[in-house]
Structure 1
């Protein structure tokens, strides 16, 4: 998740909780077309 977020321009810390907005963005970007 952190690697994906960093590669796609999201600011994430090396450790700790990942913001929900980042998790939602990754979920949307990697979801199959019928889930988008």
Structure 2
């Protein structure tokens, strides 16, 4: 598990990548919910 401080420093270094990862997680969650239905 990644610690929040490491996550925060990664966000400061590369916010675009961080946003991309969050977006991918959101899409995966949506797909998972659709499959569950």
Does the pair score TM above 0.5? no
| Bigger RCO of structures 1 and 2 (CA < 8 A, at least 6 apart) | 1
TM-score (norm 1): 0.40
TM-score where L is the length of structure 2: 0.39
Compare CA radii of gyration and give the structure with the larger one. Answer: 2
